[in-house]
Amino acid sequence: MRINFKRYGLYLLRWQASTPILAGVGIVLAAMGQIVAAIIANLIGGLIFFWVDQFIFTSQSLAAQWEVRDNIICVDCGKIARGYRLVKSGDYDKTEDNIPEFRCEECSKKKTDALRDRGVKVE
């Protein structure tokens, strides 16, 4: 399994952001008893942070964007195969590319490795 450090970092920041909110609710509800205050604080945290977590783990804006097509001619080896091209990842942006270059799976892996060597983050 590959770790997506961007998502993981956001998740850790989100986790820290929940601390003052849950602590504040716990302090306000302390008169109800520690267990009841903790249960209510966690319910409130769940209502708030479910949506934040959903964004962190499903947002396409945090992921590399690929385009896949069937029956392309690989720009590198000329093989007819399913084709792949990285459209956008971090500062790498080929969304406005008028002549997109598709590669077979094997050549796409080589190109991805070459991009990583140049510092492009591909998750």
Map residue 66 onto helix, strand or coil. strand
Tell me: the pLDDT tens digits for 80-105? 999 998 888 777 788 888 899 999 99
Give the separation between CA 55 and CA 86, rounded to whole angstroms.
22
Map residue 89 onto helix, strand or coil. strand
Q: Is 108 exposed, middle or buried (0-12, 13-18, 19+ CB in 10 A)?
A: buried
Tell me: the pLDDT tens digits for 22-80? 889 889 998 999 899 989 988 998 998 998 888 888 776 666 678 899 999 999 999 99
